[in-house]
Amino acid sequence: MVFPELALTTFFPRYWMTEDEAVDRFFERSMPGPETKPLFSLAAELKIGFYLGYAELTPEGRRFNTAIMTDENAKIVGRYRKIHLPGHSHHIEGTPFQHLEKKFFDVGNEGFNVWETQGVRMGMCLCNDRRWSETYRVMALQSAEIVVLGYNTPSMNIHWPEPIHLRMFSHLISLQGNAYGNGLWVAAAGKCGSEDGFHMIGGSAIVSPTGEIVAQAQTEEDELVFANIDLSIGEAFREHVFNFAKHRRPEHYKLIVERTGAGPPLGKAPD
Ligand code: ING
């Protein structure tokens, strides 16, 4: 069961406030905590493992946009702290809302990992991470079979007048292209519709390693998007077209880790 990003609270990075106020109102000090214990108990009773996104305050006072993954006994087997934090940390004038993830959260400090649970190798990420190909490649290089993620995607772009249909298009193509390019199943759950009067896109979906969408939310209401998936489909892609060991040439990829931002071209006239 994949729940969305920041599933326990409103998407509070849309609001300007101090970090202390955000911590007081929206961050979990323990997981499970008193409010989430019933979710863990029911999941254990039903033998359903789950992914849950929430705002994490560590005992040392670090703040992360976090997700946990449990096994079928509601035992936490993995934790992921969001690495690609979109938006800004200063106040932007003249927009209907902010996007202050860089203000309220530290960059995740535990990397992109894959866990073996319930007989499946499963990786996790969060929202904006799904737009970056490196996210999936690092997990596919750990032999992931499925990547699960939650998201909160405002339908309005506060930086430029992006046509609204592109918000759904870029969301889905990020899932489909990267599922295909890494031989992965991808399951993404969005918190959507009007939250405090601010609209977020729906489009929760389950995507096959073929890149095809096998199940997708039809509304912006509460929905269970479900599919019986065949993990062996991914094996075919990882064995042939995306057989990393056979086809990848990391000696030619070094710019990917050497450069953070784009730099000057390297092309030269042939001898
Ligand atoms: N939300 C958005 C997301 O990546 C965004 C922010 C939307 C960034 C569209 C760029 C383009 O879906 C979160 N919470 O990351």
pLDDT, one tens digit per residue, over 51-101 is 999 999 999 999 999 999 999 999 999 999 999 999 999 999 999 999 999
Which among 56, 82, 145, 191 is annotated as catalytic?
A: 82
Q: What distance in angstroms lies between residue 189's CA and the mean position of ligand 1's atoms?
A: 14
CB neighbour list of residue 220: distance below 8 Å, 6 or more residues apart: 192, 193, 194, 202
Q: What distance in angstroms lies between residue 259's CA and the mean position of ligand 1's atoms?
A: 23
- Residue 136 and residue 147 in contact, taking contact as beta carbons nearer than 8 Å: yes
Which among 101, 103, 125, 127 is annotated as catalytic?
A: 127
Burial category of 84 from C-beta neighbours within 10 Å (exposed 0-12, middle 13-18, buried 19 and up): middle
127: Cβ below 6 Å to ligand 1? yes
Q: Domain-by-domain residue ranges, the chain?
A: 12-258
Report the mean per-residue pLDDT for the chain: 98
Here the tokens at position 192 are: 């959507």
pLDDT band at 24 (very low <50, low <70, confident <90, very high): very high
The CATH code belonging to domain 12-258 is 3.60.110.10
Name the residue type at position 27: F
- The 10 Å Cβ neighbour count of residue 88 is 16
Residue 226: the pLDDT is 98
Q: What distance in angstroms lies between residue 27's CA and the mean position of ligand 1's atoms?
A: 20
- Residue 198 and residue 97 in contact, taking contact as beta carbons nearer than 8 Å: yes
- Residue 151 and residue 82 in contact, taking contact as beta carbons nearer than 8 Å: no
Mutate to test the pocket of ligand 1, among 127, 135, 155, 192 (most ligand atoms within 8 A of CB): 127
Give the H/E segment covering residue 188: strand 185-190
pLDDT band at 168 (very low <50, low <70, confident <90, very high): very high
